[in-house]
Amino acid sequence: MTPLGQTVIEKIFSAHSKDEVKPGNIIWLDLDVRSARDFAGANVVGNLKKHYGDQEKFEDKEKTVFTFDCVVPANNLGYAENQQIIRFFAREEGIRLFDSEWGIGSHVLIEEGYSVPGSTVVGTDSHLNIMGSVGSFGQGMGDQDIAFGMKAGKTWFEVPPTMKVIIEGEIKAPCSAKDLTLAIIKKLTLKGALGRAIEFEGKAIDKLSFAGRITLASMVTEMGGIVGFIPPNQEIIDYFKTRARSKFTPYYADEDAKYVEEVVIDINDLKPLIAVPFKPDDVVEVESLEKDNIHVDSAFLGSCTNGRYEDMKIAVDMLKGKQVAEHTVMKIVPATRTVLGDMIKNGDLQTLFDARALVSNPGCAGCASGQIGMTGKGEVQVSTGNRNFKGKQGAGLTYLCSPATVTAAALIGKIVSPENL
């Protein structure tokens, strides 16, 4: 029997544990999906071989997945060798591998129906809490913990307290989910949700599209949070009806659930926002930078935060019949094959080609040292990614903003608000 007054994470955990689920308790948690990517995946393989070389290494092979997304295809020997270690192992053990053509692993797990509402998912991706977008618990972990999870089918976890973030007002164009997300990070800072789960609430949250939910949930890591949940609406539930690999149950918080804190954020006056180097919570209005006349060398659209078709479409519509500025390169990377497929079907690639944008194969790209390269010293990059820490994408300066702001920068060659185009 489920005790009364539970938050979303407490409900998901109760459905996946025999232990008493309350904040601060350490529980054994059954895992529906155990995954590893090309980053740290080879170490996961090493741990499994070292500790369980002579016995069955997997509690359930059907629930175990490898994905390649950090550097696809591998452009240096280190990644090439690590990917090959995983290929050999996956083939030998009969484990599903989504190789270099598939795109960002966390998105593939959703598209392929592994991560479903109410499920528990772990992997070596620190943004795996993106699963909160579909009401699923996702968590990035180190290679030892993931190897253990694959072997045991469970992991241990300390039940975090939950805080509520209530959004008042609605998002108005040209603002999008990314501007809302940056507004929340500005308010919470990098530590605001440290060690906590978040539940997002409000009309603007309910109205978020699938892509918008992904944007918001993916940046809970940058709020310091464990995971951030957005209650699944009918669109999300319908999305999984045809693709779920298992039966699923969406969980919603009880009305008398206990929250450690409630934060209210009013977005009625929301303007396009941008995080300046080198901290994701150093957020200002894009317009406030216009007077600085900042030349943009590269404009990156993609990542697990803004790599869905809806994000691509914003750029396509803005670029139609126009050209990227002469001294600027626009790099566009769809999150997955599915997104790329939709772009091909809808003729978007022709539009982007005509606008002189560079379009690459799916993957993490601009947040790793992947297929679209890195930034050089002094290079200014506007990015729809989620981190702009020093050195993360090379020696340059990375600004984080929305697809519309990135595209505006690509068109003008400077940081400008999409409101003023």
Partner 1 sequence: MKKSVILKGRALVIRNKKSEPIDDIDTDMIFHNKYLHITDINEMGQYAFDNLDEWKDFAKKAKKGDILVLGANFGSGSSRQQAVDCFSALGVQALIAKSYGAIYKRNAINAGMPILEADVIDEIKFIENEDEIEVNLETGLIKNLTKNKEYKAKGMSNVQIDIYHSGNLFEYAKNLK
Scanning 359-398, the segments in alpha helix (DSSP H) are none
Counting residues that bind partner 1 (by CB under 8 A) gives 20
Please state, in angstroms and rounded to a whole number, the distance separating the CA atoms of residues 167 and 165.
Answer: 6
9 phi and psi angles, rounded to 5 deg: -65, -35
Shorter beta-carbon distance to partner 1: residue 145 or 199: 145
Interface positions, 166-205, toward partner 1 (CB under 8 A)? 195
Interface positions, 249-278, toward partner 1 (CB under 8 A)? none
Cβ atoms of 58 and 151 closer than 8 Å: yes
Among 148, 229, 239, 309, binds partner 1 (CB under 8 A): 148
Q: Which residues lie below 8 Å from residue 356, measured CB to CB, with a gap of 6+? A: 323, 324, 330
Strand 298-301 and strand 380-383: pairing? parallel
Q: Which stretch binds partner 1 (CB under 8 A): 49-57, 286-294, 312-320, 412-420?
A: 49-57
Q: Which residues lie below 8 Å from residue 24, measured CB to CB, with a gap of 6+? A: 158, 159, 161
CB of 238 to partner 1, least distance (A): 37
Residue 47 as a binder of partner 1 (CB under 8 A): the answer is yes
Cβ atoms of 80 and 212 closer than 8 Å: no
Burial of 375: CB neighbours in 10 Å, binned 0-12, 13-18, 19+:
buried
Q: Is the peptide bond before 278 cis (omega within 30 degrees of 0)?
A: yes
Among 23, 46, 73, 142, binds partner 1 (CB under 8 A): 142
Shorter beta-carbon distance to partner 1: residue 151 or 308: 151
CB of 18 to partner 1, least distance (A): 9
Q: Which stretch binds partner 1 (CB under 8 A): 19-27, 73-81, 277-285, 393-401?
A: 19-27
Shorter beta-carbon distance to partner 1: residue 59 or 379: 59
Taking phi over 0 as left and psi of -120 to 50 as alpha, with beta for the rest, 303 belongs to: left
Residue 144 as a binder of partner 1 (CB under 8 A): the answer is yes
Among 63, 107, 127, 151, binds partner 1 (CB under 8 A): 151
CB of 85 to partner 1, least distance (A): 19
- Residues lying near partner 1 in the complex (CB under 8 A): 19, 25-28, 47, 51-52, 55, 59, 142, 144-145, 147-148, 151-152, 156, 158, 195
